Structure 1
Amino acid sequence: MRNWKNIEFSSEELGHYSRHLSIPEFGLEGQKKLKAARVLAVGTGGLGAPMLQYLAAAGVGTIGLVDFDKVEASNLHRQVLFGASDVGRSKVAVAKERLREINPHIDIHVHELRLSSENALEVIKDYDVVADGTDNFPTRYLINDACVMLDKPNVHGSIFQFEGQISVFNYVNDKGERGPNYRDLFPEPPPPGLVPSCAEAGVLGVLPGIIGCLQASEVIKVITGIGRPLTGELFLFDAQEFSTRKVKVTKNKDNPLTGENPELTELIDYEAFCGLSSPEEENNESAVPEVTVQEYKAWLDADEDVQLIDVREPHEVEIAEIGGELIPLDAIVDHAGEISRDKKVVVHCRSGQRSADAIRQLQQKYDFDNLYNLKGGILAWSQEIDDSIPQY
């Protein structure tokens, strides 16, 4: 962090931050440290939206935004930076506009990209603190490893349905003692498919607001040195039961980054580490056969005999459905006998990811050669064929 002692404020800034300046433990020194700091937020969605609003309002001098997504209607119940008129727009572009309205005295840098092993070190190196608001394991491990290699604190948050968690990783206290990192808590990622995504499992709309605000609080504590950051502990919150607890996080001697025999000295292929296909692999020759929603509709219009299989969960069918036989993904292999082998079979889900997984399982175990993944799933059907079908 650059020398905060030389920081100056305009009269407008002093008015903006007056309630901070009135706190004896915070005062002008704390506000100078905030203005001198550079914070990188990876993800501007559920967690990033509330966190960024409060970091901007608090006066963090430079905020970096990393995201490659566009605003979708299904974001709006929890991603409070965005409104209905923003659907289809770049998240980072909208976020920059909103944050500048909250606080015109700060600098905002946009990184409209997917963070990867190729660019993470370059993107992160110029920031003082990283705030991880991502929703997938490969990126969480990537951020952790890059922060350890660059000696940056990592304020991590995650959410699932009614539950959230937060911790501060790789933090060095005033005694020079370094705290645990994400790999000390989770040495290995869960098996692919074990933990559903937010889109699949859902999330209570207010939950990311709660956890995102706690992340903002921890970022401010890390920057200013006020209070004790949540290092060496994992804070757990359950909105359904309104319960909280802390879990002790200790260093793991087998940690490949910081253990007794460190062996990880550079960033790796995190998709492969987590047992997932990379975006490139998903597009190569091993990808499953696909049919677009327009092609599938043409088959129906031509009265072709096509079987439609829906691999979503029963509660999703209550929200939106386009017909077909319901066989949830986790039961698809056991119900292979219900799937035709002598005609075209179209498999669909919400977005096309689970249905592709279902086809791979059926191909590998039973050598099906007549299965087609509905590209884009029910979302694409709603967007391109029948807008009366709800998007969720």
Structure 2
Amino acid sequence: MPHAPLVSPGAELTPAEFSRYARQLTLPQIGIDGQRRLKASRVLVLGAGGLGSPVLTSLVAAGVGTVGVVDSDTVEPSNLQRQTLFSTTDVGRQKAVAAADALAELNPLVEVLPLVVRVTSANVLALVADYDVIVDGTDNFETRYLAHDAAKLLGKPYVWGSVLRFDGQATVFWAAPPAALGTGVTLRDLFAEEPAADEGETCATAGVLGSICASIGSVIATETIKLLLGFGELLLGRLLVHDGLDATWREIRFGPAARGAAPREPAAASSEPGSSSASADPAPRTNSETTRPKGTPVTEPTASTALPEPNAERLTPTQLKALLDARERGEQSFVLVDVREPWERDIVQIEGSELIPMSHLLSDEAREKMPHDDRVILYCHHDGRSGQARDYMARNGWSNISDLGGGVDAWVTDVEPDKARY
């Protein structure tokens, strides 16, 4: 949908700029006018890590005039696998400073400002105020909510991405976009409540493939340029989800305009991942779904699908199917709990389950639905969140608790292939 550029054209291009940006000047959506807008643009990138590296490289190479780099960490050897801005000689240096040096080598015609600070409630408004677009490449919810809320207060668009293992997501939040873009969307339309710090897995604990960071970072950079120059259809109210294992991309609509509507899939899409705590960080698939042909229903339990041991920590989809059938016959008693967010459940769910999002697990309402002495089986999109919830609840009084390996995605693959995947 057409939208107005965020930035007015800056100074005339120099011969050096004409030469450097020649290949994108030929694009009708950019041209000389658009390149001058880029030259006048200011973008703040939060995090110079796995996502920040490709985002910063792309924006600086494209000629965004001023780029702020916010990062308080130092470069570690484990960063080098995916944080491609850095080299071995940067180990021990401040990331923001090392990134600024590397980006100056890439394009000396732009200004890169290293900001070696942690984002806090005391400084976030001042950080955000000076920039046209805020790009979130962070890996924790506290910073995301702080920066997003500041951007919302100041009317700034907020471009967001997340990666974990082989999966990634990207979208654009903008609380009050121009009327031509329709209803605004915010971070809380996707993640209604800020999860506790220990509810989401991180790259440090779960791992990540560096090339997935590059894929999602490129999407984020493109969305940023589209915002600045006013072309293309933005990922506003659309979550783009990438599954690197299946080499697929899929779109999920969210926000006020999408409530009550089924997710829209692009023609070439087939499946993708979800993420922790309403998908803050995508979770991986387990062997149960990657080793079986997709769309193969299970109708009768076999030796491998017999009822699991009563104290089994993780069930297969077919074991859960057998348990649900036994419960229907009055032979088993347990509570099946969906720990995802409501918007995920609207897409697909396992019949006979209760919705208790991760952030509500220890609430009084949750305890009423799943008393400590009941058998409880948890599931999420894949199994990252449910595994964490299982361990967390086991430490808080539940003695007979397990989760579904591969989550609802494996359930659909193995048991109900006609249901939606996301």
CA distance in 1, matches of 2:198, 2:68: 31
**Match of residue 141 from structure 1:** 145
Superimposed CA distance per residue, residues 263-310 of structure 1 (whole angstroms, 9 cap, x where no aligned partner):
xxxxxxxxxxxxxxxxxxxxxxxxxxxxxxxxxxxxxxxxxxxxxxxx
1:3 to partner: Cα distance:
6.3
**Match of residue 24 from structure 2:** 20
CA separation of 1:200/1:5 partners in 2, compared to 1, >3 Å: closer, same or farther? closer
CA separation of 1:152/1:84 partners in 2, compared to 1, >3 Å: closer, same or farther? same
Structure 1 residue runs of 4 or more that deviate by more than 4 Å after TM superposition: none
CA distance in 2, matches of 1:247, 1:176: 17
1:245 to partner: Cα distance:
0.9
**Match of residue 179 from structure 1:** 184
Of 222, 229, 249, the residue aligned with 2:227 is 222
CA distance in 2, matches of 1:149, 1:251: 19
CA distance in 1, matches of 2:21, 2:197: 46
**Match of residue 270 from structure 1:** none
The answer on whether the counterparts of 1:170 and 1:178 sit within 8 Å (CA) in structure 2 is no
Superimposed CA distance per residue, residues 213-249 of structure 1 (whole angstroms, 9 cap, x where no aligned partner):
1100000000011111110110000101111111111
Q: How does 1:332-347 map to 2 (within 5 A)?
A: none
Q: Which amino acid aligns with 2:35?
A: Q
Q: Which amino acid aligns with 1:17?
A: Y
1:109 to partner: Cα distance:
1.5
Find the residue that maps to 1:64 and give its secondary structure. Answer: strand
**Match of residue 210 from structure 1:** 215
The answer on whether the counterparts of 2:6 and 2:229 sit within 8 Å (CA) in structure 1 is no
Superimposed CA distance per residue, residues 333-366 of structure 1 (whole angstroms, 9 cap, x where no aligned partner):
xxxxxxxxxxxxxxxxxxxxxxxxx9xx98x99x
Q: How does 1:80-99 map to 2 (within 5 A)?
A: 80-99=84-103
State the structure with bigger RCO (CA 8 A, min sep 6), 1 or 2. 2
**Match of residue 203 from structure 2:** 198
Length, aligned pairs only: 259
Question: 2:169 matched to 1:165?
Answer: yes
Question: 2:236 matched to 1:238?
Answer: no
CA distance in 1, matches of 2:197, 2:234: 32
1:133 to partner: Cα distance:
0.1
Find the residue that maps to 2:210 and give its secondary structure. Answer: coil
Of 12, 33, 36, the residue aligned with 1:8 is 12
The answer on whether the counterparts of 2:159 and 2:224 sit within 8 Å (CA) in structure 1 is yes
Superimposed CA distance per residue, residues 128-156 of structure 1 (whole angstroms, 9 cap, x where no aligned partner):
00000000111111111111001100000
Cα RMSD, aligned residues only: 2.3
Find the residue that maps to 1:89 and give its secondary structure. Answer: coil
Q: How does 1:119-138 map to 2 (within 5 A)?
A: 119-138=123-142
**Match of residue 304 from structure 1:** none
Q: Which amino acid aligns with 2:194?
A: P
For structure 1, the residue ranges without an aligned partner over 5 or more in a row are 254-357, 366-392
CA distance in 1, matches of 2:9, 2:158: 24
Superimposed CA distance per residue, residues 50-75 of structure 1 (whole angstroms, 9 cap, x where no aligned partner):
11001000000010010000000000
1:193 to partner: Cα distance:
2.7
**Match of residue 47 from structure 1:** 51
CA separation of 1:219/1:191 partners in 2, compared to 1, >3 Å: closer, same or farther? same
CA distance in 2, matches of 1:192, 1:6: 42
Of 247, 252, 274, the residue aligned with 2:252 is 247
Q: Which amino acid aligns with 2:240?
A: F
CA separation of 1:30/1:46 partners in 2, compared to 1, >3 Å: closer, same or farther? same
Of 25, 34, 38, the residue aligned with 2:38 is 34
The answer on whether the counterparts of 1:184 and 1:252 sit within 8 Å (CA) in structure 2 is no
1:24 to partner: Cα distance:
2.0
CA distance in 2, matches of 1:71, 1:11: 36
**Match of residue 276 from structure 2:** none
Find the residue that maps to 1:5 and give its secondary structure. Answer: coil
Question: 2:68 matched to 1:64?
Answer: yes
- Between the aligned residues of both structures, percent identity stands at 43
CA distance in 1, matches of 2:244, 2:48: 22
The answer on whether the counterparts of 2:7 and 2:229 sit within 8 Å (CA) in structure 1 is no
Find the residue that maps to 1:211 and give its secondary structure. Answer: helix
The answer on whether the counterparts of 2:100 and 2:112 sit within 8 Å (CA) in structure 1 is yes
1:191 to partner: Cα distance:
4.5
**Match of residue 189 from structure 1:** 194
1:178 to partner: Cα distance:
4.5
Find the residue that maps to 1:149 and give its secondary structure. Answer: helix
1:194 to partner: Cα distance:
3.0
The answer on whether the counterparts of 1:67 and 1:91 sit within 8 Å (CA) in structure 2 is yes
Q: TM-score with structure 1 length normalisation?
A: 0.63
The answer on whether the counterparts of 2:140 and 2:197 sit within 8 Å (CA) in structure 1 is no
CA separation of 1:176/1:160 partners in 2, compared to 1, >3 Å: closer, same or farther? closer
Question: 2:116 matched to 1:112?
Answer: yes
The answer on whether the counterparts of 1:60 and 1:106 sit within 8 Å (CA) in structure 2 is yes
